[in-house]
Structure 1
Amino acid sequence: MRVVERTGEGLRVTRMAVPLKDTEEENLLDHLEPCLDFIDEGRKAGNVLVHCFAGVSRSATIITAYLMRTEQKSLEEALESLKEINESVCPNDGFLDQLKLFEEMGFKVDTSSSLYRRFRLKLLGQSYKVGEKIGNHVFEDDPGVARQPNPTQELSGKEKALKTAYRCKKCRRIAAAQDNVIGHTPGEGNSSFAWHDKRKGHTHNKEQDCSSLYVEPLKWMTPEDGALEGKLSCIHCGARLGYFNWSGIQCNCGSWITPAFQISKSKVDVSTI
């Protein structure tokens, strides 16, 4: 939890403390924008000191992100600029991946981006692997539950636009919206499974459409506590819609999705909402 407080003689120093470990699994991305905004505000009033224990990884990551945002530098350019001042800076690989994601999102943390949603899903998978209990309170809202409109809030053009939804074929309840779909880079089709095919001289077709949707975990999904994998059934009629596996599933296109919450396209109809 970030803490902002006034300290020092006469309480003239404003300090932000961000409790982060210097590990590749640590989620620094969600703290980036508050930290960068804090630096911006501090520079208007005076000087800003950014520090961690060694000044090598965590603080270097924050300063690199600040250079990227304020000077529109790529990750490589910003890191090179910082190394000209302090050649010992060396963000860990996990932080570098998050900085690259920050760059790909346009030097901001766009929580609606599929890139960000894949990142959050990866964090959930990592939490599961280290034995943390994952309850559906951290899952995304159920798109099948109608939301009451706020009469005082004017909807934007984007919010008014029709959206694609995927409905259970049996009872027509909404199982997922297009916003919940996690995109992935297609693999090489059947050739990705060549290791499993012992027949000699077999040829494979590289072009293959994905037969499933891979979505964010949603609140209607109720995997049993501690279950590594299992079925995903419609919460309304009980029809089987797909499968989940915290260790991942290989799509028929050949690409691995980890963790995976899969809905079979043959089990749903496409509509608009």
Structure 2
Amino acid sequence: MRIRRTSWTIWRVAWSLLRKADLVVVSWFIARPVFHAAVVTAYLMQKEHLSAAAALKSLRRISPGVHPNDGFMEQLAIFESMGNKIDRDSSSYKKFKVKFLGESFAKGEVMESSSYASDPGSATVKLPAPSNTIESGTERSTVYRCKKCRRVVARDENVIGHDVGGGESAFKWQKRGGKEGMYTQAPVCTSMFVEPMQWMTAVEEGVVEGKLQCVKCEARLGNFNWSGMQCSCGAWVTPAFQLHKSRMDAAYF
């Protein structure tokens, strides 16, 4: 069996064939050899329970010229962090997906609604009754509702974490006469960043930046910018889909 595809579909085609076959002969095309190398490396990682480095080392015993580029090495590192499987709820996966969407937008590609996360406030999504108590040994989940009309606008799994920035010192270029060491307050995130969701009508319009409004009452919940924006903690997030915590209520279940 030979895999002779050079488009992006090599990931789906090759992975499907590799999982079903005991022996696969991969043709290393000059046009896109890195596709093949990355797919086979990921297969070895899952099949043999190897790290990305160990899988590449094993593959290079057969094909010394294998050198996946930096982009594929990043994806293999994410694959390894997910336990050598695709975990769409993983924060690493979500960060990569949002980054990929941002790069696609920058290239002028048309962003389809199906590329975005489903609407957590949709009638088809059922939520358990909220609870204000924490049972021993149980993990609570959180839903975020518009403070004005109570519509669900996000859930825990929609939140994209980021490294805390330098606090006020990150904004000192805006402060006239600011001095080094004058900022002593700990960085605080007054907003949270989420993945783009299907209720964000302004995002689907294809503009670079705009407001995020509740689809039910049109209350302003935050902002978005495909080019990125700065969190109140000082960190720069790109692309950014920002919801202000003061405009929402958190419910636990």
State the TM-score, normalizing by the size of structure 2.
Answer: 0.83
SS of alignment partner, residue 215 of structure 2: coil
Contact 1:121 1:259 in 2 (8 A): yes
CA offset at residue 113 of structure 1?
Answer: 1.2
Code of the aligned partner of 2:238: T
In 1, Cα distance between equivalents of 2:5 and 2:232:
42
1:180 equivalent among 147, 150, 158: 158
Match of 1:75 in 2: 52
Code of the aligned partner of 1:205: T
In 2, Cα distance between equivalents of 1:60 and 1:148:
39
Code of the aligned partner of 1:39: L
1:140-185 CA deviation, whole Å, 9 max, x = no partner?
2211122277xxxxxxxxxxx8631111111111111112111122
Number of matched residues? 239
In 1, Cα distance between equivalents of 2:186 and 2:5:
47
Pairwise mapping of residues 1-273 of structure 1 onto structure 2 (< 5 A)?
Answer: 13=1, 18-20=5-7, 31=11, 35-43=14-22, 47-54=23-30, 56-147=33-124, 163-197=141-175, 199-202=177-180, 203-205=182-184, 207-223=186-202, 225-272=205-252
SS of alignment partner, residue 57 of structure 1: helix
CA offset at residue 265 of structure 1?
Answer: 0.4
Code of the aligned partner of 1:177: R
Contact 1:215 1:263 in 2 (8 A): yes
In 2, Cα distance between equivalents of 1:88 and 1:148:
49
1:214-234 CA deviation, whole Å, 9 max, x = no partner?
111111111163311001111
In 1, Cα distance between equivalents of 2:149 and 2:18:
52
1:88-117 CA deviation, whole Å, 9 max, x = no partner?
111111111100110011001111212111
Contact 1:52 1:58 in 2 (8 A): no
1:195-238 CA deviation, whole Å, 9 max, x = no partner?
44453434223732211111111111111633110011111111
Gaps of 5+ in 1: 1-12, 22-26, 150-160
Identical aligned residues as a percent: 43
Code of the aligned partner of 2:167: G
In 1, Cα distance between equivalents of 2:195 and 2:21:
37
In 1, Cα distance between equivalents of 2:152 and 2:187:
27
Gaps of 5+ in 2: 127-138
Code of the aligned partner of 1:245: N
Match of 1:155 in 2: none
Contact 2:193 2:242 in 1 (8 A): yes
Query: CA 1:136–1:67 in 2, change beyond 3 Å: closer, same or farther?
Result: closer
Contact 1:136 1:221 in 2 (8 A): no
Code of the aligned partner of 2:188: D
In 1, Cα distance between equivalents of 2:106 and 2:147:
34
Aligned residues: CA RMSD = 2.6
Query: CA 1:18–1:86 in 2, change beyond 3 Å: closer, same or farther?
Result: closer
Code of the aligned partner of 1:114: S
In 2, Cα distance between equivalents of 1:257 and 1:50:
39
